[in-house]
């Protein structure tokens, strides 16, 4: 994409910089975009984060009083900013019909004549999303299907025609780690993108494949590296499971099984787990059928309710293109009141994702401060149930404010960077779309560069709300801890602070505002991403998926389809 065509004339003014090369805190004063950037204030962003992450919001769990408080607060802020409501019945609220199931499970296996009980929380975290109070799966066969991947374009099929209907499927999380034939110390970049996770590696894909093949149960073998988080994070998610009413089919039983418990199952069958795991990394892998059975009993508490996306618009100023849009999004939900850790049971979610919502409000404030609105409409969506599987984003993609075929791009924020200024910004899914050329151009004005995710093996691009828009074809930029290469810090500082957050605070009650947060990086990243969103909204060239992106075909199909006007 020739990004020079993307910019209207008033967007061509570069941000001034300090003589040291740091980005100036004061936004440029003489351009309309400078007016927008000047409205970005670290104290204001921090106030929104503090409020949303306060104990008063009870952890912002979906379908609780915490949701009531959070969505009312976001609606009020949208109104104060001056955005138009884009929800149901002239409100800011888009109702999302949900069904919730809270499961209590017992699991018993019989392998080679040996009886094995799987202890909830320690050995297994599993549930049923069937809208039934009792779900019984008795004496099912057990099949290990490796990574559970069927990728015809790579000549890869882990099922090999084995019938898993009515059976319990054990599956590894992540992509098959295929060695590079030219260098066995590296992974093959031509197969599952090497070290970077693809959608084939996501747990959602594994569940979808098992359900499509009629399995009775599917258990993902937890390994911290491929999963991207420790078993403790899985334990913390042992709570109500949500699904949109009328959503996709699920197997009767879904869940995770601890690696140690998996090894005990293999050992009881006289099998070497590590040897079979190595075989699973090859195209020649054959599914393993165990001589044994698995039995599951679930008691469910079931409820139906309406959750809420909070949606607003800033109408475009150009009559010819105001029917087109750029979507900015973040999720408001976290985990509510849960299992206490060190006496604290409120999962405040300050970074994940009160910071993203605060970014969304700052972006809306900046856009509203422009003397003239962007040519195209801006849609602002604070979506529900990201932590339950991107459910609010999926619902929005099915019920968009502006049809997705007329939505040029999605810019999504899933947790900001509170650790200081950086020389670089990380784009998740680096290389997917032409949007990164625009991001790089704007970053260069701040003497910054765009870099790929330093942890591509964790598949963050496939774990945030923009994915549901991308799957429908909308080009997307998404950010998680955007900054990297910290100014005035050691080369390892960024890795260190992210690792500490993931180990100590991620999905825990300790995800709270910290006294040592440095808002300067958040301000820089907010100003940069706002400029990018405005560039798209004012541009002459539509963003595109790059050749080789798995989302390109969906975009082409949506643009070919007849459009309602």
Compute the distance between CA of residue 310 and CA of residue 392 in angstroms, rounded to an integer: 10
Domain assignment of residue 107, yes or no: no
Phi, psi (rounded to 5 degrees) for 321: -130, 10
Which of 290, 315, 332 is the last residue before a domain boundary?
290
Tens digits of residue pLDDT in 348-393: 999 999 999 999 999 999 999 999 999 999 999 999 999 999 999 9
Q: Which residues contact 215 (CB under 8 A, 6 or more apart)?
A: 164, 165, 166, 167, 168, 169, 251
Compute the distance between CA of residue 58 and CA of residue 492 in angstroms, rounded to an integer: 35
pLDDT (0 to 100) of residue 16 = 31
Q: How confident is the model at residue 31 (pLDDT cuts 50, 70, 90)?
A: low
Q: What domain range is 250 assigned to?
A: 113-290
How many residues make up the chain in this entry? 565
The CA-atom distances, in angstroms, between 112 and each of 164, 263, 271, 341, 523 are: 20, 14, 11, 39, 60
400 and 549 share a domain? yes
Q: How confident is the model at residue 36 (pLDDT cuts 50, 70, 90)?
A: confident
pLDDT (0 to 100) of residue 18 = 29
Domain assignment of residue 518, yes or no: yes
pLDDT (0 to 100) of residue 112 = 86
Which of 257, 290, 323 is the last residue before a domain boundary?
290
Which residue stretches of 23-93 are H helix?
32-38, 42-52, 65-81
Mean pLDDT of the chain: 91
pLDDT (0 to 100) of residue 29 = 39
pLDDT (0 to 100) of residue 564 = 56
Give the residue, 111 or 113, on which the prediction is more confident.
111
348 and 464 share a domain? yes
Compute the distance between CA of residue 217 and CA of residue 255 in angstroms, rounded to an integer: 8
Tens digits of residue pLDDT in 507-517: 999 999 999 99
Domain assignment of residue 298, yes or no: no
Q: If you search the block for the tokens 């009328």, which residue do you land on?
A: 246
Reference 114, options 273, 218, 217, 265; nearest CA is: 265
The whole-number average pLDDT for the span 246-260 is 94
pLDDT (0 to 100) of residue 512 = 97
Number of helices (H), then strands (E), in the chain: 15, 25
Domain assignment of residue 229, yes or no: yes
Compute the distance between CA of residue 487 and CA of residue 521 in angstroms, rounded to an integer: 10
90 and 216 share a domain? no
pLDDT (0 to 100) of residue 32 = 66
Q: Does pLDDT of 19 surpass 60?
A: no
pLDDT (0 to 100) of residue 47 = 97
Q: If you search the block for the tokens 């060190």, which residue do you land on?
A: 342
The whole-number average pLDDT for the span 478-483 is 92
Q: 3-state class of 417 per DSSP?
A: coil
Domain assignment of residue 297, yes or no: no
Q: Which residues contact 190 (CB under 8 A, 6 or more apart)?
A: none
- Domain at 329, CATH number: 3.40.630.10
Compute the distance between CA of residue 324 and CA of residue 331 in angstroms, rounded to an integer: 23
CA 493, 495, 500: angle at the middle one, nearest 5? 95
Domain assignment of residue 432, yes or no: yes
338 and 438 share a domain? yes
168 and 90 share a domain? no
246 and 335 share a domain? no
Q: How confident is the model at residue 563 (pLDDT cuts 50, 70, 90)?
A: low
Which of 290, 321, 354 is the last residue before a domain boundary?
290
Other beta carbons within 10 Å of 82: 13
Domain assignment of residue 296, yes or no: no
Highest averaged pLDDT of the listed ranges 25-39, 438-452, 546-560: 438-452
Domain assignment of residue 184, yes or no: yes
Q: Which residues contact 527 (CB under 8 A, 6 or more apart)?
A: 15, 27, 37, 40, 366
333 and 450 share a domain? yes
Contact of 420 with 483, CB cutoff 8 Å: yes
Give the residue, 453 or 383, on which the prediction is more confident.
383
Compute the distance between CA of residue 325 and CA of residue 410 in angstroms, rounded to an integer: 9
Report the run of H or E that residue 314 belongs to, with start and end: strand 292-314
49 and 167 share a domain? no
32 and 135 share a domain? no
Q: Does pLDDT of 432 surpass 80?
A: yes
Tens digits of residue pLDDT in 175-217: 999 999 999 899 998 898 888 888 899 889 999 999 999 999 9
Number of domains in the chain: 2
521 and 428 share a domain? yes
456 and 524 share a domain? yes
Tens digits of residue pLDDT in 61-110: 999 999 999 999 999 999 999 999 999 999 999 999 999 999 999 999 99
- Domain at 236, CATH number: 3.50.30
Q: Spell out where 119-236 has E strands.
A: 124-127, 134-140, 142-144, 150-151, 156-157, 168-172, 179-180, 183-187, 217-221
Strand partners, 364: none
């Amino acid at each position: 994409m020739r990004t020079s065509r993307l910019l209207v004339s008033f967007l061509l003014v570069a941000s001034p910089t300090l003589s040291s090369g740091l980005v100036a805190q004061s936004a440029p004063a003489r351009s309309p975009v400078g007016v927008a950037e000047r409205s970005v204030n670290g104290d204001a962003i921090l106030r929104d984060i503090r409020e949303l992450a306060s104990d008063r919001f009870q952890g912002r769990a979906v379908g609780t009083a915490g949701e009531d408080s959070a969505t009312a607060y976001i609606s009020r802020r949208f109104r104060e900013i001056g955005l138009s409501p884009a929800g149901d019945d002239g409100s800011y609220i888009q109702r999302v019909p949900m069904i919730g199931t809270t499961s209590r499970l017992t699991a018993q296996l019989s392998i080679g004549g040996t009886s094995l009980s799987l202890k909830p929380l320690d050995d297994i975290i599993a549930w049923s999303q069937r809208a039934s109070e009792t779900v019984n799966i008795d004496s099912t066969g057990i099949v290990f299907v490796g990574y559970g991947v069927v990728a015809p374009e790579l000549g890869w099929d882990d099922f090999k025609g084995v019938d898993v209907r009515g059976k319990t499927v054990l599956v590894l999380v992540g992509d098959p780690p295929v060695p590079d034939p030219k260098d066995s110390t590296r992974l093959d970049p031509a197969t599952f993108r090497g070290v970077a996770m693809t959608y084939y590696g996501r747990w959602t894909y594994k569940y979808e494949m098992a359900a499509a093949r009629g399995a009775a149960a599917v258990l993902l073998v937890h390994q911290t590296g491929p999963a991207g988080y420790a078993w403790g994070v899985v334990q913390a998610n042992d709570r109500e499971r949500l699904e949109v009413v009328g959503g996709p089919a699920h197997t009767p039983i879904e869940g995770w099984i601890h690696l140690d418990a998996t090894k005990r199952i293999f050992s009881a069958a006289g099998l070497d787990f590590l040897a079979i795991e190595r075989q699973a990394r090859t195209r020649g892998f054959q599914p393993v059928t165990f001589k044994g059975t698995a039995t599951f009993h679930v008691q469910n508490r079931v409820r139906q309710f309406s959750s809420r996306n909070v949606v607003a618009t800033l109408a475009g100023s150009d009559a010819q293109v105001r029917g087109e849009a750029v979507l900015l999004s973040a999720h408001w939900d976290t985990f509510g009141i849960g299992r206490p850790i060190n006496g604290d049971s409120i999962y405040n979610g300050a970074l994940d994702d009160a910071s993203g919502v605060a970014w969304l409000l700052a972006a809306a404030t900046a856009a509203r401060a422009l003397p003239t609105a962007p040519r195209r409409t801006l849609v602002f969506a604070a979506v529900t149930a990201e932590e339950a599987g991107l459910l609010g984003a999926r619902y929005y993609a099915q019920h968009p404010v502006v049809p997705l075929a007329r939505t040029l791009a999605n810019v999504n924020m899933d947790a900001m960077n509170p650790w200081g200024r950086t020389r670089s910004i990380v784009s998740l899914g680096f290389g997917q779309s032409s949007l990164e050329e625009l991001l790089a151009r704007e970053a260069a004005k701040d003497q910054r560069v765009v870099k790929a995710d330093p942890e591509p093996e964790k598949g963050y691009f496939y774990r945030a709300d923009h994915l549901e828009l991308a799957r429908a074809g909308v080009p997307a930029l998404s950010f998680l801890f955007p900054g990297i290469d910290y100014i005035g810090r050691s080369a390892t500082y960024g890795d260190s602070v992210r690792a500490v957050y993931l180990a100590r605070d991620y999905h825990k009650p300790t995800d709270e505002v910290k006294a040592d947060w440095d808002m300067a990086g958040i301000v820089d990243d907010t100003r940069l991403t706002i400029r990018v969103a405005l560039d798209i909204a004012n541009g002459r060239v539509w963003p595109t998926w790059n050749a080789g992106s798995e989302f390109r075909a969906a975009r082409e199909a949506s643009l070919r389809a007849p459009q309602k006007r």
